[in-house]
Structure 1
Amino acid sequence: MPVTDTTPYDADRARFSRSALARLVLCDHAVDVSKSAEGLVPTGHDPDTGPGGRVSQAAQLVELAERALASAVIYERERGSSWGEIAQYLGMEAGEAEDRFAADLDHWNTAFEVPYRLDGTGRKRIPQLPTAAYDPVWACKHLDLWAYLRHRGTGDKHAVSSGLDTPEA
């Protein structure tokens, strides 16, 4: 059942282009990949990790990287890249790339048409967009801070938000 009432996040989200929202999602997913990869670097806790534990971590990293790849494809499509342009970096034909990411793009597009669904009780609305696209103001603050703390010395406190295309207010 579609939910049509608006929330305060809807007005904030309307200030951003779909391309900017897709880029925020890609940034957020890239942070997840980075954090997951960091967990594989230290060796001090290896004795406490069960057999196959590091394989489990690496598999999770691959899963997160696949999610980031899908987000990158959505972003590239939102900014006008053709399937041929995307496919050349994936080592496949344009039609193969389109088929591979069709479900991801369909979910993305549908989330703008039906941004919420009701939970099983029928009382709570569940956003259909990824968190970074649902609440882009929070995402900008969070990602700007993450980038600033990670890239010390650059002095760029708006490394993420400054590059987004947002509609004029």
Structure 2
Amino acid sequence: MSETTPYDADRARFTRQALARLVLCDHAADAADGAAGLVATGNDPDTGPGGRVSQAFQLVELAERALVSAVVYERERGSSWTEIGQYLGIGPAEAEQRFATNLDDWNTAFEVPYRLDDTGRKRIPRLPTAAYDPAWACDRLDTWARNRLVLVNDKRPVSSGLVKAVPKEELPPVTPVTP
């Protein structure tokens, strides 16, 4: 049986594909912000030995997180392992094996939305924050994109392109099939 979350209604407005895209947007924004921290040179004297290496390594970790999110998104939108593997320079079986745990975690989070922390007392959402609370993520990412992307005139540059779920009341009636 599925547990409920405080954000179920907000999440129901989006398809799983849209939620996966929101997670990818969130992780891409984090990676972009991480890269931006390496651009300015004015604070270099304040950075200890190895500090810029630390920042660059963190950027690699953020990029890896974005890659995992991109694979989840591509699978949600129907991309094959052959297509994904082609862009990674690996075979389809290797691509599937590499990301199987990430996809399992993504799928499980929709059925079992929480895990218990180490104390066994606090529930921790399994979905990434952007998918768990998509209304917050849309607001944050729309603002992020408006502030950083040149020549973007859309007031909702992230959320306007997401695939929305069709509300149940707008679904066409199901006609029983008779043999």
Q: In 2, are the aligned partners of 1:3 and 1:125 still within 8 Å (CA)?
A: no
Q: Which residue of 2 aligns with 1:100?
A: 98
Deviation at 1:51, TM superposition (A): 1.1
Q: Within 5 Å, which residues of 2 pair with 1:41-120?
A: 41-120=39-118
- Which of the two has higher C-alpha Rg? 2
Alpha-carbon distance between aligned partners in 2 of 1:139 and 1:40, rounded to the nearest angstrom: 25
The secondary structure found in structure 1 opposite 2:18 is helix
Separation in 1, partners of 2:166, 2:111: 23
**1:27 paired to 2:14:** no
Question: Where does residue 10 of structure 1 map in the other structure?
Answer: 8
AA paired with 2:140? H
TM-score by length of 1: 0.93
Offset, 1:119: 3.2
Mapped partners of 2:89, 2:23: distance in 1: 24
Distance in 1 between the 2:86 and 2:150 partners? 34
Structure 2: segments with no counterpart, 5+ residues: 168-179
**Stretch of structure 1 that moved more, 43-52 or 134-143:** 43-52
Report the secondary structure of 1:108's partner residue: helix
Matched position secondary structure for 2:22: helix
CA 52–127 in structure 1, closer or farther in 2 if over 3 Å, else same: same
How many residues get paired? Answer: 167
> What is the CA-CA distance between 1:106 and the residue it aligns to?
1.0
For residues 109-154 of structure 1, what are the alpha-carbon distances to aligned partners after superposition, in whole Å with 9 as ceiling and x for unaligned?
1111100123345443211000000000110111011111112543
Structure 2 residue matching 1:8: 3-state secondary structure: coil
1:139 aligns with 2:137: yes
Q: Determine the structure 1 residue equivalent to 2:171.
A: none
1:36 alignment partner, one of 28, 34, 37: 34
Q: Residue 154 of structure 1 aligns with which residue?
A: 152
